[in-house]
Structure 1
Amino acid sequence: MNYQILFGSYPIPRFAGIASHNFVVMCDETGRPIFEINGGASNSDGSFNYCAIRGPLTAVVTDYAHRDLRYFPEFYLRPTSITSLLLEGSYSSVAARWRAAVDLAERIRQSGLRYSFWLQNSNSVASAVTEAMKLTPPSAAVGRVKAPGSYRRLILDAA
């Protein structure tokens, strides 16, 4: 097996599993997650706000080797998460794409954008980092009801 980049969706129980939280994950050649990128809102102390309705929009890169769920969420391992393969290849080809996603995550974190459930949220971040890797979010995981914000283009300053 090669390294992989997966697009994930976690059906949010609070919304009867109709709306989802989207994320992106990189797995090693055995299928284990190495890194994950989640969008959402951050709390004033910088921790990830799992129940966000407002706050600064953030993009968090979780390193599975250094786990801290308060600051670095993990959705890939949840039993209800669904994933779609975006890319499979050698470490160098996958890592090059992943680097673009990490760079965009940092720009989002520094952007000053505000979280909005309907407009710019975890799904906007997942779509944006996927597109930064020159990949396409799977149609089954995006949509105005299924993944609010997934079609929203984040307005970031040119880098």
Structure 2
Amino acid sequence: MKIVFGSWPIRFFASIPFHNFLALVNEAGEPVRELNGGARKADGTYNYQALHGPLTVVETDYSRRDPLYFPEFHIRPSSRFLTLFEGNAGESEERWADALAAARAIECMELRYSLLRRNSNSVAAALVRAMGLTLPRAACSRIRAPGGRCVLPPVTIGRETIVNGHALPDRPH
């Protein structure tokens, strides 16, 4: 299985900036699950043209498709991909679980979506780091991926605090 870093050009903004996301892909190259950061509308649906709202992280399970609530960018012909990790199913699922734990922690922070600072790109960057993987250089461009360089606050997963994919040493209480 593979974990890929995907980018999709945002047509609303002349396809200059990109929406970054992660996908777990099976051996046949088909998406199994996908993680997207973004904003949530008041009715709980994913906001495809977000300018404001609560920052959210959505996992799409391709076996139970519902694009209204769970976006699907892997299948779009204009999406681009870079492989972040390739391994057996257990290794891939373990890294994906780290990303999901970071996604839950981000949701608990109750952050506001910001077009230039806290957006899909900053979420994707935080999830990549939480998996202990390296963010692709192309994902850090201020024009192509605004917010990609912006580091979200440290993410606490269980008893560990994760900063840039590394657990901080335990501190005395």
Shared fold (TM-score greater than 0.5)?
A: yes
The size of the alignment, in residue pairs, is 157
Whose relative contact order is higher, 1 or 2, with alpha carbons under 8 Å and at least 6 apart?
1
For residue 85 of structure 1, report the CA deviation from its aligned partner. 0.4
Q: After superposition, what is the alpha-carbon deviation per residue over 1:63-91, rounded to whole angstroms, capped at 9, x for unaligned? A: 00111111100101100000000011100
1:69 corresponds to which letter in structure 2? P
Q: State the structure with more CA Rg.
A: 2
For residue 109 of structure 1, report the CA deviation from its aligned partner. 1.8
SS, match of residue 156 in structure 2: coil
Q: Is the 8 A contact 1:9 1:82 kept in 2?
A: yes
The percentage of aligned residue pairs carrying the same residue is 47
Which residue is equivalent to 2:47?
Answer: 49
Which residue is equivalent to 1:126?
Answer: 124
Moved segments of 4+, more than 3 Å: 156-159
User: Can you give the 5+ residue segments of structure 2 that lack an aligned partner in the other structure?
Assistant: 158-173
User: Can you give the 5+ residue segments of structure 1 that lack an aligned partner in the other structure?
Assistant: none
Which residue is equivalent to 1:83?
Answer: 81
Which residue is equivalent to 2:24?
Answer: 26
Which residue is equivalent to 1:64?
Answer: 62
Q: Is the 8 A contact 1:130 1:136 kept in 2?
A: yes
Tell me how far apart the structure 1 counterparts of residues 143 and 35 of structure 2 sit (CA, whole Å).
Answer: 22
Q: TM-score, normalization: structure 1?
A: 0.95
Tell me how far apart the structure 1 counterparts of residues 142 and 57 of structure 2 sit (CA, whole Å).
Answer: 20
